[in-house]
Amino acid sequence: MKKLFVLVRTDLNPAYRAVQAGHAVAEFVLNRPTSWSNEILVYLGVKSLFSLEVIKNKFEKDKIDFIEFREPDLENQLTAIATVNENKIITKLNLLKDE
């Protein structure tokens, strides 16, 4: 079964994290309809905007397919990334927690 990994910034409040993760899932399904069949969904935490941008740059460099979500209410800041590609970056992240 394929897993959809959603990387969400933990510097956002918990309710906002949930919304941003939902947006990333929706964008992934809309843009990659055959890549994931609503199987396993994994939310992972990333400390900050900077950390998420670093991961995005690594994904681009390594040609890892992903979808990003940018929040218009936060001046289009990157808030979440979704990918089905399990890789060493993904395996080093912790599950998203309600803090």
Q: Kindly report the CATH number assigned to the domain that includes residue 44.
A: 3.40.1490.10
Structure tokens, 23: 């947006």
Structure tokens, 6: 């959603």
The one-letter code for the residue type at 93 is L
| pLDDT band, residue 46 (cuts 50/70/90) | very high
Residue 22 sits in which domain range? Answer: 3-95
Q: For residue 72, what is the DSSP state?
A: G
Q: Which of 79, 70, 68, 20 is nearest to 46 (CA)?
A: 79
Task: Please state the rounded mean pLDDT for residues 11-39.
Answer: 95
Number of domains in the chain: 1
Task: Please state the rounded mean pLDDT for residues 78-83.
Answer: 98
Angle at 71 between CA 7 and CA 29, to 5 degrees: 55
Number of H helices, E strands in the chain: 3, 5
The yes-or-no verdict on residue 49 having pLDDT over 90 is yes
Task: Please state the rounded mean pLDDT for residues 30-40.
Answer: 94
